Amino acid sequence: MITLFRQIHRYYSVLIILILSVSFYPFYYFASRKPERYALLNQLRKINSLLCSTLIGVFFRFRFEVPLQEGQTYIYCANHTSNLDIMILCVLAKGRFHFMGKQELLDNPVLKIFFQTIDVPVNRDSKISAFRAFKKVGENLENGMSLVIFPEGKIDDHYPPQLVPFKNGPFRLAIEKNIPIVPVSMTNVWQKMWDDGAKYGTSPGICEIYVHRPLSTKELNIDDSDLLKDRIFDLINSKLIH
């Protein structure tokens, strides 16, 4: 049962997200027209994410196992339980970065402009779509553009959420392109907003995010992708609240 406070907070949060999305849209549109403006687009995403979280009373507290290197290209792999997760990764990711996400996000009125431009949508049910998407992401990584991905592929239907098996693609890509992976544990974000908050409402508070030490892929080959996937899964899961 949703408490009245959590219900009111959800409606307020949705209103704030919509107002800021509309307010930022002209700037997003300008920055998304040319790839050379994508750095500006990401800065706008960071600013919007911080403004939005502050206004709804949700704050992000990052704990880093080691500092992340400036100028280093990474693949950020995080568990996925909340619509806040994208905001969090926009704040966390350094330098030039982009997201890879399910094709349905092209229908999302807030995220559509990004998945038509800087970000890469993928239809996981289509081998051709997946091949094209990972080819595009691979080219971006080679050009020094970090990747943000949720390897579960979706938000789990169970509440409280449990980490579900990862898709293999990101780990093969990390090995092929020799890109270090940053595992990210969204420790308690689901307690503030599970999925979009429709079932359990939302609440203000502090989201705890643990950023693990980046894992190098230099000494690995494609046959090690399953071992790498399992290692990342265990690391992320080790910090979660169930």
Tokens in use for 52?
Answer: 């939005």
Residue 242 lies in a domain: no
Residue 33 lies in a domain: yes
Residue 203 lies in a domain: yes
Residue 158 lies in a domain: yes
Residue 75 lies in a domain: yes
Give the chain's domain count. 1
Residue 132 lies in a domain: yes
pLDDT in tens, 185-231: 999 999 999 999 999 999 999 999 999 999 999 999 999 999 999 99
pLDDT in tens, 12-69: 999 999 999 999 999 999 999 999 999 999 999 999 999 999 999 999 999 999 999 9
Provide the domain limits for residue 21.
4-237
Q: How confident is the model at residue 2, as a pLDDT?
A: 78
Q: Calculate the average pLDDT of the chain.
A: 95
Residue 225 lies in a domain: yes
Nearest-angstrom CA–CA distance, 100 and 24: 22
Question: Would the CA dihedral through 196, 200, 201, 206 be positive or negative?
Answer: negative
Nearest-angstrom CA–CA distance, 176 and 166: 18
CATH no. for residue 173?
3.40.1130
pTM of the full predicted structure?
0.95
Strand ranges across the sheet with 120-122: 58-64, 205-211, 181-186, 75-78, 146-149, 97-102, 120-122
Residue 176 lies in a domain: yes
